[in-house]
Chain A
Amino acid sequence: MPLPAKAFQHWLHGVAPTASTADICRISGIKRTTLAQQLVRGKVAETTLVSISRALKRSPLADLASFDSFTGLTEQPQPPNPAELVSQIATMDLLRAVISRSSPAYGGFGDNGSSMTPPLSAAPHATSVRNWVDAIDDGELRHRVSAATGVAPQNYSAQLTANRLSPELAVATARAAGVGFTGGLVATGLLTEHEAGWAPEARQAALDALSDGELTALAGERLQALGKTLRRQEHELEQTKKIWENLG
């Protein structure tokens, strides 16, 4: 359930009492028709709130927390655990780290985080949602989330496959796993790491703390998953081509 329009308008009036809807749309880059539609339907997307909050130079996390469905978001802030941090590192950055740790004969520097290694690309990455859930899953997480929210497991899986997760589900997942609330919001791209209050070097530090064995195994898992996805895409492309060839 997105934010109720009434509460949203109340919030908007509180934070920008003098701004017109047109002003709000102009500074936040939201289309007027989009905002109008969301207000008419009575449901405002969290991304809308975050864009406006960002444009007003406020804290999107604190503003989200001011809504009923997100209460508790900023109470007892819990920093992301190392596994969550590593899950938000793109697969290619992990592979780059593997190479960078290898001996110079293979193009590496033989150490951790050399100054020559390019900085990590910003979260989220192409499979960040699924990797985040995998990182905090104890094997029963999906069942608990589904029991707590009433979302069918296959719908939940479909969202993960599409690298999407609604903010409510992200928060519910974090709650069910007993981790901080910000991990899911960063993984889904709703908030940036900075907005979520993560330390700037937190992901790099978590990566550096991985042993060579852990890093290599993790990179291998990611590579295998990537291979599966690519093969499926290739298969679908092949099928589409066959349809065009015969029926197009």
Chain B
Amino acid sequence: MIAILQWTTLAVCALVAIFRVPSALRGENRSIFGIFTLSTFAIMLSINVIYLPVDTWLGSENYANLILRFLIYAVVLLSGYKIAKGFDAQRSTWLIAGPVGLIVLALVAVATVVPFLLANTTGSSTGLGTLPDQSANNVDLIKLYTVAGRFYPSFVAACLLPATIRTMRSGLPRLPRIGAAILAVGAGAMILLSFSDLLPRHLAYLQYFISSAAILGLVLGLTLMWLGRVLATKRLVRR
């Protein structure tokens, strides 16, 4: 079930990235293509079958997981900045890419790298859930690492939520409004993800749904914006 979910998410993401190649070659908004590509790699690294060989190749120290974290930070920063600019939300842009945002990012980067280096991460484990070293100290370090990894996406999503909701309720054409609604759902899921550790153990599998919803919300929302632009230009040409 979870495998199906993950592979579907990957397929959607990869397809969108592939469809975006021609326009990236034409030089139209390459950062959107970047967001799709980085998301695709990030999803690949969260799937067991792909993670394990990659990490083994990197020395079985779970550096692949560290790479995954920074891939996610890059996607979140890039998409957050573009969405805030696209929705003309100066406050959000400032919070994400201004001094505040960069300080938050720097702190999160430190809070990611330091616990990771201090912890004993030997033995490939997707999501670091089943590391061989389960000593209390190590578990705490990994927990800190995980919290930092989820905090940054939640922070950016929280900055975007007001702007997406405002756009969703505005009088703009339908496609960008639906796109904004889907982005808002994705942002909501991204925020929930931070609190997903509070879920009771027998509901822990919901985490996978929430993270899929977050990434699919982002990718599909952006795809709709893109579709809207393509249709709008076509209509102009026909006229």
Chain B residues numbered 205-239 whose CB sits less than 8 Å from any CB in chain A: 222, 225-226, 228-230, 232
B88 and A242: CB pair below 8 A? yes
A246 and B171: CB pair below 8 A? no
A247 and B32: CB pair below 8 A? yes
Q: CA of A141 to CA of B222 in the docked complex: distance in angstroms? A: 44
Query: A43 → chain B, closest Cβ, in Å?
Result: 25
Chain A residues numbered 229-248 whose CB sits less than 8 Å from any CB in chain B: 232, 236, 239-240, 242-248
Question: Size class of A's contact patch?
Answer: 10 to 19
Of all chain A residues, the one with the shortest Cβ separation from B83 is A247
Q: Which single member of B170, B171, B172, B226 contacts A248 (CB below 8 Å)?
A: B226
State the majority secondary structure of interface residues on B. helix
A248 and B85: CB pair below 8 A? no
B171 and A240: CB pair below 8 A? no
A246 and B176: CB pair below 8 A? no
A243 and B82: CB pair below 8 A? no
Q: CA of A240 to CA of B170 in the docked complex: distance in angstroms? A: 11
Q: A247-B29, A248-B29, A248-B228 are in contact. Are A240 and B85 (CB under 8 A)?
A: no
25 A-B contact pairs sorted by A residue (CB < 8 Å): A232-B171, A236-B170, A236-B171, A236-B172, A239-B87, A239-B167, A239-B170, A239-B172, A240-B176, A240-B232, A242-B86, A242-B88, A243-B86, A243-B87, A243-B229, A244-B225, A244-B228, A244-B232, A246-B83, A247-B29, A247-B82, A247-B222, A247-B226, A248-B29, A248-B225
Which residues of B are in contact with A by a Cβ distance under 8 Å? 28-29, 32, 82-83, 85-88, 167, 170-173, 176, 179, 222, 225-226, 228-230, 232
